[in-house]
Amino acid sequence: MTGGIGSGKSAVTDHLATLGVQILDADRFAHQVTANGQPAVAEIAQLLGQQVLTASGDLDRAMVRQIVFTDNHKREALEAIVHPKVRSAMNAAASNAQSPYVVYSIPLLVETRQTGKFDHVVVIQANHELRRQRVLSRSGLDEESFDQIMASQASDQERAAVANTVIINESSLDQLHQEIDNLHLNLCALAAEK
């Protein structure tokens, strides 16, 4: 599952989790592999400089964002450090899954060219202004940071081109849940076929 920032991926995966589906969230795994004391932290500090570390040795994620969203080469180098570790941790977790299928929630699925590694790609979409409102109201990001993230992500058209299913998340939560329930039935049927 993928979608741009503010599209509603978490709303979808939260509901799927209530249906008993194991959710593997790339952002959560990224936080785990970049937690204080993890090998990736030293590699990131070597790449971006010691200013990305707090006094206690944690990553200053806002500083990391500030650096990599203004320098594509550094962003790509950071992704080369973090993404393989995230994929490895997610695959290990998937191997122990008990649900009929597993959802990998990967915001940068298209950008990292991983779409071919999955049986079914679900894309969550919403118009840009709605996404902006959602993000600015719930996070500490300012408009400039939001715009930088948007510019670094695949377009809606690029995501839709690789999707088996596209869910437009622009109406009520009840409507979204109904679409997710239908998606769940379809994915259970696909899993049973496999």
Tokens of residue 3, six digits: 């979608």
Mean predicted confidence (pLDDT) in 151-179 = 94
d(CA 96, CA 106): 19
Q: Which residues pair with 57 in a beta bridge?
A: none
What CATH fold (topology level) applies to the domain 27-98?
A: Rossmann fold (3.40.50)
- In this predicted structure, what is the pLDDT of residue 151? 84
pLDDT, one tens digit per residue, over 84-140 is 999 999 999 999 989 999 999 999 899 888 899 999 999 999 999 999 999 999 887
pLDDT, one tens digit per residue, over 32-68 is 999 999 999 999 999 999 999 999 999 999 899 889 9
- Selection from 136, 115, 124, 105 nearest residue 30 by Cα: 105
Range 178-186 contact pairs with CB under 8 angstroms and sequence separation of 24 or more = 180/12, 180/15, 180/16, 180/19, 181/19, 183/122, 184/16, 184/19, 184/21
pLDDT of 152 > 90? The answer is no
Say if 1-21+102-188 and 27-98 have the same CATH topology: yes
In single-letter form, the type of residue at position 157 comes to Q
Query: Domains of the chain: which residue ranges?
Result: 1-21+102-188, 27-98
- In this predicted structure, what is the pLDDT of residue 15? 97
Domain at 1-21+102-188, CATH from 3.30.70.360, 1.20.1050.40, 3.90.870.10, 3.40.50.300: 3.40.50.300
